[in-house]
Amino acid sequence: MLVTTSVNSREHTRDVEPRMLLVHFLRDELGLTGTHWGCDTSNCGTCVVLMDGEPVKSCTVLAATAEGHEIRTVEGLAAGGVLDPVQQGFTEMHGLQCGFCTSGMMLTARALLDRNPNPTDAEIREAISGQICRCTGYATIVRSIRWAADHAERPAAP
Amino acid sequence: MSANGDRPIGFGRLTRKEDPRFIRGQGHFVDDVQLPGMLHGAVLRSPVAHARIVSIDASAALQHPKVHAVITGRDLETRGLAWMQTISADSQAVLATDKVRFQGQEVAFVVADDRYSARDALELIDVDYELLPAIVDPRRALDPDAPLIRDDKPGQTDNRIFDWESGDRAATDRVFACADVVVEQDLVFPRSHPAPMETCGAVAQFDQVSGKLTVWCTTQAPHAHRTVYAFLTGLPEHKIRVISPDVGGGFGNKVPVYPGYVCAIIAAIDTGRPVKWMEDRSENLMSTAFARDYAMRGAIAATGEGEILAVRVDVIADHGAFNATAQPTNYPAGFFHVFTGSYDIEAAHCHVRGVYTNKAPGGVAYACSFRIAEAVYLVERMVDCLACELGVDPAELRLANLIRADQFPYECKTGWVYDSGDYERTLRKALELADYDELRREQAAVRARGELMGIGVGFFTEAVGAGPRKHMNILGLGMNDGAALRVHPTGKAQLSISVQTQGQGHETTFAQIVAEELGIPPEDIDVVHGDTDVTPYGLGTYGSRSTPVSGAATALVARKVRDRARIVAAAMLEASPDDLEWEKGRWRVKGDPEKGATIQEIAMAARGSVELPAGVEGGLDAETVYDPPNLTFPYGAYICVVDIDPGTAKVRIRRFIAVDDCGTRINPMIIEGQVHGGLTDGVGIALMEQIAFDADGNCLGGSLMDYLIPTALEVPDWETDFTVTPSPHHPIGAKGIGESATVGSPPTIVNAVCDALRPFGVRHVDMPCTPSRVWHAMTEGMASTK
């Protein structure tokens, strides 16, 4: 079936099986491999993307379901070559190690800060609690998102 | 420092060189590899734990329009490929021929146009199984009437893998016989799983003209894998290239060679097209390297005054259906025999029996440092049980028995020589940070109100950096690492190392080592790793060995470059090399500090026309292979504070204080990250994670809905600090930090849980200390104290 979805503000149409998952649509059809896949059960959150600004697990969304919605992936976080403060925060505060959960974590952080620009640490932990990181122990992820909240207005260095 | 802004030229906090690609979604993991004409493989797995294969009918699958091939054990058998050698030199089925021996074992491999079709075709394969009784409990495996699991092995008449001892049994028995106090305790270190966020997989490509095989693989040990593939396939080793691209976490899970990798290679050779195989999460949890599964009976002997005299332990080690543990040859139980821990005692003895069961193979994984996790758990729990018996404070008991600073280098009773340490200083620092005395006062006060607050103390000594080739090898491969450093004419450099990163930050840390030695800024140094065609041979990243072994190789190869640079500088400055002295980044003339040459100037001259002394080659390139003289022994003191809800028995970690000593610190930011990650592993292992089985051998932990991993809500904001006691034999004094916290935290947390439950008369709760287990311990304790 033909599926048309807007990803990072660009429309894409592909002929895919009705059962195709959004995560595979993004990765295999569009080549956007920054979105990862880590479990079969919606537990790990490495596949999180934003659908109309809200985090969704793209392993639990059919590509066909995404039609008519705006999808934002990690490749769409930086604007015009300028990093999102969340991306900068993850580097500054060592919010990533192997980098596999990072895309999903950053997108959830973006959605959180969009609705709550100055979250408490408890709110940050709650926001990312549907996602697993095996490397960092989460404290530096919390600090990274806090850094982004504290630097929301500052233009990112090139 | 100011010469490089606030970025250190050498050791210090430095944001990571690998981050820019990951934060942009530009990392390159195995599943991101896309090749023209690539096919997709999927593995058919056994639904049962133990059964004879009567027949396999793949005809319907072969009829599927998108299927290119179905490979079974029979197909491989005719080519001598049905079995492979494990890294413990046992045999393991690539695809089952005679029997399946654990649920999830590989039975057939389907190759199709896309990943969905490959999965569809698995449903079309009909396998007829004749069920056999399964052995799940390792203690049952040695019963005389137990079914024989490995009837494929000539001469194998029972389920025993090895029977191994270390220490002095007679001396230990003598000490125990005369001791004032003896405490015994059964402890189970349950089966857990590293579950890296990226599952295991490979892409194999075979060039039929050149005969070259390229394998992109989720491996922590690309060079060792290359050699194993050469042994296995018969392809010449120079025609095999293993690329370990970005790897989404390893933790030991990605050390072994898995049947799926081998099947992808065979399918690529057979079909002439690249083949990708990526396992799913259930396959990862059910079939790849698990960790621990040690059933231990520990005993500790002491004087009435609290002097620890001896420790002994008897272990049944469950290795699953094939012995596939990573172990350095002479030690079938890995490094378990450092179980005397951090204490100066008179005698020790361990007896470990490895057994086959109808469970997935593995045992050494999950940041255990070759089973030091089990060893530390044993001794730290036994010390707490002793403290309980004696009615003394567990911190005081440790302070009284720790190896003293003046005893290093210290040879423990099982023969390990600890390189350096000042244990008391580290423990006192942790107690001070925790405000331990105040915590104990608070505990007394809240206990009076019926609240369950626990304070756990733990101390650990790690042994990492395997290893000296006179003692250690894997499949005959010495555990040494190489490093090659090329300094380009403009003073920029490229370092090639034999270990690779799964998140540890090698591209940053190793650049910092070169920067420290040569004064070249880290951003001017590219670190190349994870590709056997362009890096020196070495055994890989696991057991916290990268900094102790490859880090040493890196420092030494940089020093070789520095020595050559001295000769070149002498020629440039028309001085004798002996008259030059080194200041970071520059050779200068002694007594005339204005006269000198920077490493960048020297690099240009080395490739230029400066006349060099006879016998001195141009350029500044160098290579080295490092054979460590000993392991390094990082250590730490941990304190955990828990609160247990008396209504639900749920354990909440309120505080965790970790003071680590990993010797010289290269990048404190990365070290802290390694510690945080390990502490989180510890929370999972101690409270949540278990790969359990039912009586028929069905895996009950086969998804992340059943195998619970900590999220941000289960862990506290870590409190970390450090002491620095450099390793005397490591070129820069660094000891390694990758697994310290995973090793040290589980007993600390269980000690805290048991401490909280003391009012119920509870001495021990096995991991994972789930609400259900804690509740049972409380109710049983209440019943018995009535």
Start-to-end Cα distance in chain B: 67
Query: How many Cβ atoms from other residues are within 10 Å of residue A114's Cβ?
Result: 11
A131 touches chain B (CB under 8 A): yes
Query: How many Cβ atoms from other residues are within 10 Å of residue B28's Cβ?
Result: 13
How many angstroms separate the CA of residue A127 from the nearest CA in chain B?
9
Candidates B197, B541, B739, partner chain A, best to mutate (most A CBs within 10 A): B197
Nearest to B368 by CA among B290, B476, B265, B473: B290
SS3 B2: coil
pLDDT at residue B537 above 70?
yes
- Scan for tokens 């949540």, then name that residue: B688
Say if the Cβ atoms of A34 and B24 lie within 8 Å: yes
What is the longest distance spanned by two Cα atoms in chain B? 91
pLDDT at residue A142 above 50?
yes
Give the tens place of pLDDT for each residue, B13-43. Answer: 999 999 999 999 999 999 999 999 999 999 9
How many angstroms separate the CA of residue A68 from the nearest CA in chain B?
24
pLDDT given at position A156: 47
pLDDT at residue B2 above 50?
no
Candidates B23, B40, B657, B708, partner chain A, best to mutate (most A CBs within 10 A): B23
C-alpha to C-alpha distance for B512 and B670, rounded to whole angstroms: 12
- Scan for tokens 């400066």, then name that residue: B610
C-alpha to C-alpha distance for A68 and A55, rounded to whole angstroms: 16
Give the tens place of pLDDT for each residue, B480-505. Answer: 999 999 999 999 999 999 999 999 99
Query: How many Cβ atoms from other residues are within 10 Å of residue B433's Cβ?
Result: 17
Please list, residue by residue across B68-103, b when 16 or more beta carbons sit within 10 angstroms of its beta carbon and e when fewer do.
bbbbbbebbeeeebbbbebbbebbbbbbbbebbbbb
Residues of B in contact with A100 (CB under 8 A): 27, 29, 196-198, 248-249
B652 touches chain A (CB under 8 A): no
Alpha carbon B643 to chain centroid, angstroms: 30
pLDDT at residue B521 above 90?
yes
| Chain A residue nearest residue B25, CA to CA | A34
Say if the Cβ atoms of A135 and B677 lie within 8 Å: yes
Say if the Cβ atoms of A128 and B711 lie within 8 Å: yes
pLDDT given at position B783: 85
- Scan for tokens 């021929």, then name that residue: B97
Give the CA distances from residue B150 to residues A122, B756, B764, in Å, rounded to whole numbers and listed in that order.
52, 44, 35
pLDDT given at position B129: 98
Query: How many Cβ atoms from other residues are within 10 Å of residue B776's Cβ?
Result: 14
Say if the Cβ atoms of A34 and B25 lie within 8 Å: yes
C-alpha to C-alpha distance for B177 and B168, rounded to whole angstroms: 14
Give the tens place of pLDDT for each residue, B95-114. Answer: 999 999 999 999 999 999 99
Q: What is the mean pLDDT of residues A9-18?
A: 97
Q: Tell me if A109 sits within 8 A of A145, measured CB to CB.
A: yes
Residues of A in contact with B27 (CB under 8 A): 34, 99-100
Q: What is the mean pLDDT of residues B521-535?
A: 98
A156 touches chain B (CB under 8 A): no
Say if the Cβ atoms of B679 and A137 lie within 8 Å: yes
Strand partners, B769: none
Query: Would you tell me which residues 424-443 of chain B have a C-beta closer than 8 angstroms to some C-beta of chain A?
Result: none
How many angstroms separate the CA of residue B771 from the nearest CA in chain A?
20
Strand partners, B99: B52
pLDDT at residue B720 above 60?
yes
Backbone phi, then psi, for B32, in 5-degree steps? -85, -10
C-alpha to C-alpha distance for B746 and B619, rounded to whole angstroms: 51
pLDDT given at position B127: 98
Q: Specify the DSSP element, H or E, that contains B296.
A: strand B290-302
How many angstroms separate the CA of residue B647 from the nearest CA in chain A?
24
Q: Specify the DSSP element, H or E, that contains B67.
A: strand B67-72
A135 touches chain B (CB under 8 A): yes
Give the tens place of pLDDT for each residue, A68-88. Answer: 999 999 999 999 899 999 999
| Chain A residue nearest residue B193, CA to CA | A134
Give the tens place of pLDDT for each residue, B665-714. Answer: 999 999 999 999 999 999 999 999 999 999 999 999 999 999 999 999 99
Cα–Cα–Cα angle for B472, B473, B479, rounded to 5 degrees? 90
pLDDT given at position B329: 78
B210 touches chain A (CB under 8 A): no
pLDDT given at position B785: 66
Please list, residue by residue across B455-485, b when 16 or more beta carbons sit within 10 angstroms of its beta carbon and e when fewer do.
bbbbbbbbbbbbbbeebbbbeebbbbbbbbb
pLDDT at residue B93 above 60?
yes
B711 touches chain A (CB under 8 A): yes
Say if the Cβ atoms of A98 and B249 lie within 8 Å: yes
Query: Would you tell me which residues 500-529 of chain B have a C-beta closer than 8 angstroms to some C-beta of chain A?
Result: 502-505
Give the tens place of pLDDT for each residue, B550-572. Answer: 999 999 999 999 999 999 999 99
Query: How many Cβ atoms from other residues are within 10 Å of residue B34's Cβ?
Result: 13
B751 touches chain A (CB under 8 A): no
Q: Which of B249, B281, B717 sits opposite A134 (nearest CB)?
A: B249
Give the tens place of pLDDT for each residue, B262-308. Answer: 999 999 999 999 999 999 999 999 999 999 999 999 999 999 999 99
pLDDT given at position B781: 86
> If pLDDT is split at 50, 70 and 90, which confidence band does B327 have?
confident
Cα–Cα–Cα angle for B219, B223, B229, rounded to 5 degrees? 80
Amino acid identity of residue B515, one-letter, is A
| Chain A residue nearest residue B684, CA to CA | A134
Say if the Cβ atoms of A36 and B248 lie within 8 Å: yes
A125 touches chain B (CB under 8 A): yes
Q: Tell me if A33 sits within 8 A of B30, measured CB to CB.
A: no
Give the tens place of pLDDT for each residue, B721-743. Answer: 999 999 999 999 999 999 999 99
Residues of A in contact with B675 (CB under 8 A): 137
pLDDT cut 90: percent of chain B above it: 96
pLDDT at residue B202 above 90?
yes
Q: What is the CA radius of gyration of chain B?
A: 27
Query: Would you tell me which residues 94-113 of chain A have a C-beta closer than 8 angstroms to some C-beta of chain B?
Result: 94, 96-103, 106
pLDDT given at position B5: 76
Strand partners, B76: none
Query: Would you tell me which residues 30-69 of chain A have a C-beta closer than 8 angstroms to some C-beta of chain B?
Result: 31-41, 43-44, 46
Give the CA distances from residue A141 to residues A39, A99, A103, A129, in Å, rounded to whole numbers and listed in that order.
21, 12, 12, 12
Residues of A in contact with B679 (CB under 8 A): 137
Q: Tell me if B632 sits within 8 A of B726, measured CB to CB.
A: no
Say if the Cβ atoms of A27 and B115 lie within 8 Å: no
Strand partners, B131: B51
Backbone phi, then psi, for B449, in 5-degree steps? -95, 5
Tokens of B9: 């030229």
Say if the Cβ atoms of B677 and A136 lie within 8 Å: yes
C-alpha to C-alpha distance for B142 and B401, rounded to whole angstroms: 37
Q: What is the mean pLDDT of residues B47-52?
A: 98
Residues of A in contact with B708 (CB under 8 A): none
pLDDT cut 70: percent of chain B above it: 99
| Chain B residue nearest residue A144, CA to CA | B23
Query: How many Cβ atoms from other residues are within 10 Å of residue B396's Cβ?
Result: 13
Task: Transcribe B96-159 into DSSP letters.
Answer: -SSEE-STT-EEEEEEESSHHHHHHHHTT-EEEEEE-PPP-STTTTTSTTSPPS-TTSTT--SS
Predicted TM-score of the model (pTM): 0.97
Q: What is the CA radius of gyration of chain A?
A: 15
Q: What is the mean pLDDT of residues B389-405?
A: 98
Q: Tell me if B481 sits within 8 A of B550, measured CB to CB.
A: yes
C-alpha to C-alpha distance for A90 and A143, rounded to whole angstroms: 8
Q: What is the mean pLDDT of residues B172-201?
A: 98
Q: Where are the alpha helices (DSSP H) in A22-137?
A: 22-24, 85-92, 102-115, 121-127
Give the tens place of pLDDT for each residue, B355-396. Answer: 999 999 998 999 999 999 999 999 999 999 999 999 999 999
pLDDT at residue A154 above 60?
no
SS3 B400: helix
Strand partners, A93: none
Say if the Cβ atoms of A134 and B23 lie within 8 Å: no
Say if the Cβ atoms of A46 and B676 lie within 8 Å: no
Candidates A97, A108, A146, partner chain B, best to mutate (most B CBs within 10 A): A97
| Chain B residue nearest residue A141, CA to CA | B712
Amino acid identity of residue B40, one-letter, is H
Residues of A in contact with B29 (CB under 8 A): 33, 36, 100
| Upper half-sphere CA count for residue A18 (Cβ side, 13 Å) | 0
How many angstroms separate the CA of residue B442 from the nearest CA in chain A?
25
pLDDT given at position B326: 86
How many angstroms separate the CA of residue A122 from the nearest CA in chain B?
8
Query: In a 10 Å sphere around its CB, with 0-12 CB exposed, 13-18 middle and 19+ buried, how is residue B766 labelled?
Result: middle
A20 touches chain B (CB under 8 A): yes
How many angstroms separate the CA of residue B367 from the nearest CA in chain A?
11
What's chain B's average pLDDT? 97
> If pLDDT is split at 50, 70 and 90, which confidence band does B3 have?
low
Give the CA distances from residue B458 to residues B378, B641, B643, in Å, rounded to whole numbers and listed in that order.
11, 12, 17
Say if the Cβ atoms of B703 and A136 lie within 8 Å: no
Say if the Cβ atoms of A39 and B198 lie within 8 Å: no
Q: What is the mean pLDDT of residues B215-221?
A: 97
ipTM, interface predicted TM-score of the complex: 0.97
Q: Specify the DSSP element, H or E, that contains B411.
A: strand B410-411
